[in-house]
Amino acid sequence: MYAIGEEETVGDAEYVNIWTLPERPARGPKPVYSRAQITEAAIRIADAEGLEAATMRRIAAEIGAGAMSLYRYVPSRDNLIELMADRLMGEIDLTGVPSGDWRADLTRYADGLRAMWRAHPWIAAVQRSLPGLGPNQLLLIERLMGVLDPLVPIDENLGLMALLNGYVEGAVREEISAAEELRRSGLSEAEWMARGHAHVDRLVKSGDYPIFTKIVMEARRPHLSRDDQFRHGLRRVLDCVAAALPPTAQPAG
């Protein structure tokens, strides 16, 4: 009787919340490595060769450990990637935010987020659905949402920050797209240009895509620098934010 369910191995994927799991229990030999060290090594590899190159064996080799040793510190590779993502959030420096000048604060955040993405383009491939609840992420939420917190209701605030995040991510994705695609393909730049542009040129020459053609022309000879383009778009977003604020809180017109 009761043969079904006897084994209790129902779920195949054991879900683990890394933020509830303490790094070190007690007693036993001194650990040689650490979560932080492993996370750092993984980020170093991902920066240099992409996220897919950051395999467990490769990371272990980077710090001079055996492959399975990592599992004494981290439950799974997915959890490690969560740690990596949170570590990256810590790179966005928001000390002193909120300062009282919301426009300056949000600009600083946008610049910081952009810099982080450009330094670690592989973050585009992570992008979890839930925001993640690591210490750095939480601190960031507190500070960023604190900028507009007394001025607008919380749901309005969330919407505006989603808008800001969306703008920055979209803009940076465009910036890093060419470089990332090039790296992923594994081709030399000349070869990649030859293959990729051949198709684009064919589309352009066909005459069927007039607006796409305009985009290509603009992309090949942009009017503004990357930085200016970003600043310009950001100003537009911030104007949008300003419009959503109550009229009593408009420091710099």
Q: Tell which positions 111-140 bind its own copies, by CB under 8 A.
A: 121, 124-125, 127-131, 133, 138
Site string for DNA, 78-97 (x = CB under 7 A): x-------------------
What secondary structure letter does DSSP report for 91?
A: T
CB of 30 to DNA, least distance (A): 5
The structure tokens listed for 173 are: 């994705």
User: Computed from CA positions of residues 46, 49, 51, 53, in that sequence, does the dihedral angle turn out positive or negative?
Assistant: negative
Query: With binding defined as CB under 7 A, does residue 72 bind DNA?
Result: yes
Binding to its own copies by residue 142, rule CB under 8 A?
yes
Interface with DNA (CB under 7 A), residue from 41, 46, 56, 123: 56
Size of the site for DNA (CB under 7 A): 28
List CB contacts of 151: < 8 A, sequence separation 6 or more.
102, 245, 246, 249
Quick check: 25 binds DNA (CB under 7 A)?
Answer: yes
Q: Which is nearer to its own copies, 32 or 215 (CB)?
A: 215
- Cβ pair 124, 173 in contact under 8 A: yes
User: Binding to its own copies by residue 1, rule CB under 8 A?
Assistant: no
Q: What is residue 123's three-state secondary structure?
A: helix
- 3-state helix/strand/coil string of 45-86: HHHHHCHHHCCHHHHHHHCCCCHHHHHHCCCCHHHHHHHHHH
Picked from its own copies, DNA, none, the partner binding residue 26 (CB below 5 to 8 A depending on kind) is DNA
Instruction: Answer for the pair 104, 43: CB distance below 8 angstroms, yes or no.
Output: no
7 touches 25 (CB < 8 A): no
Q: What number of CA atoms fall less than 13 Å from residue 56's CA on the CB side?
A: 15
Q: Which residues in the 36-55 window bind DNA by CB under 7 A?
A: 55
In the bound state with DNA, the residue whose beta carbon lies nearer, of 127 and 225, is 127
Instruction: Identify which of residues 11 and 28 has a Cβ nearer to its own copies in the complex.
Output: 11
Spell out the residues 6+ positions from residue 67 whose beta carbon is closer than 8 angstroms to its own. 56, 57, 60
- Of the candidate spans 75-83, 164-172, 214-222, 226-234, the one that interacts with DNA by CB under 7 A turns out to be 75-83
237 binds its own copies (CB under 8 A): yes
Tell me which residues in 210-229 interact with its own copies (CB under 8 A).
210-212, 214-215, 218, 222-224, 229
Footprint of DNA on this chain (CB under 7 A)?
14, 24-33, 55-58, 60, 64-69, 71-73, 76-78
